[in-house]
A and B are shown apart, each in its own frame.
Chain A
Amino acid sequence: MLNEERIKLMTRMASYESTEGKKNESVAKHFRSDYVGLEVLKAVICATIAYMIAFGVYIYYDFENFMLNIYKIDLWAFASSALKKYVIFVVCYSVIVYIAFSFKYSHAKHNLKIYFNNLKLLGTLYVKEKENEEDYGEN
C-alpha cells in the first residue's frame, strides 16, 4: 500500500543521494584529520608547483639582467629571499585550504547525519506500516 509520508521522505532522500549525497559520502569516509590533512598536502604540492612556475617565468622575464649580474648579486640572499616568499605563500594558501575543507567536511557530515536520521525514520515508518497491516490482518 502507498504511504504518502514515506514517499515524500524517500523522494527527499533519493534527491539528496543523486546530488550531494555521492560527494558527501566520499568525504565522510575519512576521519576529519585524514581528509583535511590530505587536502592540505595536495594544496602544498599545488602551491609549490604554482610557485615554481611563477618563479620560472620571473627568471625567464628578467633572464638577461639576471645573467649579467649573476657574479655581482648575493646568491645566498637571493635564494633565502625566494625561499622566505615561498614559505609565506605556501603557509597562507594552506591555511585558506584548511579552513575551506574543514567547513566542507563539517557540511558533509551534517548532511549525512540528516540523511541517516531520515533512514532511521524510514525504517520506523516501515515497521509501523507492517504493524498496521498485521492489525488489519488479525481483524
Chain B
Amino acid sequence: MRDLLVIKEKLKKFVGKNEVFILPVLKFLMVFIAMSKINSSLGFMSKLSNGGITLIVALAGSFLPLNLTLVILALIITAHMYKLSMECAILVLALFVIMFLLYFRFASKDSVGALLVPISFAFKVPYIMPVSMGLVGGPCSMVSVGCGTVIYQVLHYIAVNAENIKGGGGDKITEKLGSLKAIVDGMLENKAVIVYAVAFSITVLVVYIIRRLSINYSWFIAIAAGSIGCFVLVLITTAALHAQVSLGGAFFGMIISIIVNLILQYFLFDLDYNRSERVQFEDDEYYYYVKAVPKNTIKLGGNAEPIRRAKPEHVREAVRRPAPTRVVREESATPVQTRARETVRATATNAAKTAVKRPASKGPLGMSGGRPAGEGRKKD
C-alpha cells in the first residue's frame, strides 16, 4: 500500500511539473489511435489512409478543441464511406449531422465520450467506458456514450459487410435504392446496438448517482454497482430482444471494467490534476505570476470532511517587479485584465465615497465600511 502511495505521489509530482505537455500528448495519442483504427477498418480511400495524414490529423487534434477534432474525424469517415458507396456516405453523414445538431452543439465537454467509446469497442473493452464516464462526467454523458455506441456499431456493420455493400450497389437507381434499404435493414436487425446503447446509458446514470451519494466509499460502490449493473442490463436486454451479444464477453468485460476503473480511480480520478493553476494579474504596483497548487487532502469518502492533510502545500510564486510606466502596462494587459482593473479602481473609488457619506454603514459581504477615506487614525 505504501508503494502505491509513493507511486501516486510521484505521478502527481510528474503531472504537476509537466502538465503543460501532458494534455496535448494524451490528445495526440487519442486522435492517433482513433485515426489508425478508422484507417485499418474503414480505409477505403487510400489517399486518406496513409501515415502522413494520420500524423497531421493527430497533431492538429492535440491542440484543437475536441469538438472540432470530432468534426474532422466525422468528415474523414464520411470520405471513406463515399469511396465505398454513396448510400453509406449519406447514411453516416446524416447520422453525424443529427448528432452534432441535437447534442454536441451545446454539450461540448462530453464529446470525449463519443470518441473514446468507439475506441474502447475497437480494443474489445467497451464495458470500461460507461463506468468511467459515470465517474468523471455528468448525467448528460449518457447521451454521448449512447452516441459513441451507435457510431461504432454502424461503422462496424459497414466494415464487416463492405464487400456485400460494394457488390450490391449497381449503376441503376433502383439497385442503389435497394442497396440503401439493405444496409439500413441490416443495421436495424442488429439488436446489439440497442442492447449496448441502453445498457451503457443507464450504467452512466447509475454510476453518476451512486458516486454523488454522501456515503463512505461511494466511488468504489459506484464502480462495482455500475459494472455489475451493466452486465445485468446486457443480460436482460439481450434476452428481451433476442440479440446476438457475447454473454461470456460481457462477464469478462464486467471484471475488467471493475479492475481498470479501480486503477483509474486510484491514480487518475482521485487526484484531480487539473486544479493546479497558473494565473497572471497586476495592480498599480506589481505584476503577479502565481502558481496555485491545491492542498492534498484525504477524504473519508462521499461528502465527508477531510480528515488529514497528507502534504500541506500551498505554493505561491509571486514574482515581484515594480511596474514600468502606465502606458506600457496598458498595452501589455489583456482586455479582461484591463477591464477588471478599471472595475476595481471604480469600485474602490465608490467604496471610498460611500465610506465618506456613511461612515458607520456596513460594506459588502458584511465588512464594516470603516472610516472616511483619507481620515486616518489620529495620534493620541
The answer to whether A127 has its CB under 8 Å from any CB of chain B is yes
User: What B residues does A134 contact at CB under 8 A?
Assistant: 374, 376
User: What B residues does A137 contact at CB under 8 A?
Assistant: 376
The answer to whether B123 has its CB under 8 Å from any CB of chain A is no
Contacts known (A53-B94, A61-B181, A120-B365); A7 close to B288, Cβ less than 8 A: yes
In the assembly, what is the distance between CA of A120 and CA of B343, in Å?
Answer: 9
In the assembly, what is the distance between CA of A64 and CA of B370, in Å?
Answer: 83
User: What A residues does B344 contact at CB under 8 A?
Assistant: 119, 122-123, 126
Name the residue of chain A whose CB is nearest to the CB of B102. A50
User: What B residues does A56 contact at CB under 8 A?
Assistant: 94
The answer to whether A93 has its CB under 8 Å from any CB of chain B is yes
The answer to whether B286 has its CB under 8 Å from any CB of chain A is yes
Check A124 against B290 for contact (C-beta < 8 Å). Answer: no
Contacts known (A63-B177, A64-B177, A123-B350); A46 close to B367, Cβ less than 8 A: no
In the assembly, what is the distance between CA of A134 and CA of B177, in Å?
Answer: 86
Check A17 against B336 for contact (C-beta < 8 Å). Answer: yes
Name the residue of chain B whose CB is nearest to the CB of A13. B340
8 Å CB interface, A122-139 against B = 122-124, 126-128, 130-131, 134-135, 137-139
8 Å CB interface, A23-63 against B = 39, 46-47, 49-50, 53-54, 56-57, 60-63
The answer to whether B321 has its CB under 8 Å from any CB of chain A is no
8 Å CB interface, B350-375 against A = 350-352, 355, 363-365, 367, 370-371, 373-374
* CB of B34, distance to nearest CB on chain A (Å): 24
Check A124 against B351 for contact (C-beta < 8 Å). Answer: yes
Check A49 against B177 for contact (C-beta < 8 Å). Answer: no
Number of interface residues of A (CB under 8 A): 46
Q: Which of A7, A49, A64, A138 contacts B181 (CB 8 A)?
A: A64
The answer to whether A18 has its CB under 8 Å from any CB of chain B is yes
The answer to whether B297 has its CB under 8 Å from any CB of chain A is no
Name the residue of chain B whose CB is nearest to the CB of A57. B94
Name the residue of chain B whose CB is nearest to the CB of A89. B102
Check A46 against B102 for contact (C-beta < 8 Å). Answer: yes
Check A2 against B286 for contact (C-beta < 8 Å). Answer: yes
The answer to whether B347 has its CB under 8 Å from any CB of chain A is yes
8 Å CB interface, B326-356 against A = 336-337, 340, 343-344, 347-348, 350-352, 355
User: What B residues does A21 contact at CB under 8 A?
Assistant: 336
Check B347 against A139 for contact (C-beta < 8 Å). Answer: no
In the assembly, what is the distance between CA of A100 and CA of B340, in Å?
Answer: 29
The answer to whether B98 has its CB under 8 Å from any CB of chain A is yes
Contacts known (A50-B97, A50-B98, A131-B376); A122 close to B347, Cβ less than 8 A: yes
Check B281 against A53 for contact (C-beta < 8 Å). Answer: no
Contacts known (A117-B364, A119-B344); A14 close to B105, Cβ less than 8 A: no
In the assembly, what is the distance between CA of A15 and CA of B371, in Å?
Answer: 32
Check A14 against B280 for contact (C-beta < 8 Å). Answer: yes
The answer to whether A95 has its CB under 8 Å from any CB of chain B is no
Contacts known (A2-B286, A53-B98, A57-B90); A14 close to B180, Cβ less than 8 A: no
1/0 per residue, CB under 8 A from B, across A59-72: the answer is 01111100000000
* CB of A114, distance to nearest CB on chain B (Å): 10
* CB of B180, distance to nearest CB on chain A (Å): 6
The answer to whether B316 has its CB under 8 Å from any CB of chain A is yes
Check B174 against A64 for contact (C-beta < 8 Å). Answer: yes
Contacts known (A46-B101, A120-B365, A121-B365); A61 close to B347, Cβ less than 8 A: no
Name the residue of chain A whose CB is nearest to the CB of B107. A100
In the assembly, what is the distance between CA of A135 and CA of B290, in Å?
Answer: 30
Check B373 against A7 for contact (C-beta < 8 Å). Answer: no
Check A15 against B181 for contact (C-beta < 8 Å). Answer: no
User: What B residues does A10 contact at CB under 8 A?
Assistant: 281, 283, 288
In the assembly, what is the distance between CA of A128 and CA of B355, in Å?
Answer: 11
Check B370 against A127 for contact (C-beta < 8 Å). Answer: yes
Q: Which of A15, A57, A130, A139 contacts B379 (CB 8 A)?
A: A139
The answer to whether B318 has its CB under 8 Å from any CB of chain A is yes
User: Which are the 8 A-B pairs with shortest beta-carbon distances?
Assistant: A123-B347, A120-B364, A123-B348, A14-B279, A14-B281, A46-B101, A135-B376, A126-B348
Q: A14-B281, A61-B184, A127-B373 are in contact. List 6 more A-B contacts (CB 8 A).
A: A14-B279, A14-B290, A17-B340, A49-B101, A123-B347, A123-B348
Offer 12 A-B interface pairs, CB within 8 angstroms, sorted by A: A2-B320, A7-B318, A17-B337, A18-B279, A22-B336, A50-B97, A64-B181, A120-B364, A121-B367, A126-B344, A130-B373, A135-B377
Interface, chain A (partner B; CB < 8 A): 2, 7, 10-11, 13-15, 17-18, 21-22, 39, 46-47, 49-50, 53-54, 56-57, 60-64, 93, 97, 100-101, 117, 119-124, 126-128, 130-131, 134-135, 137-139
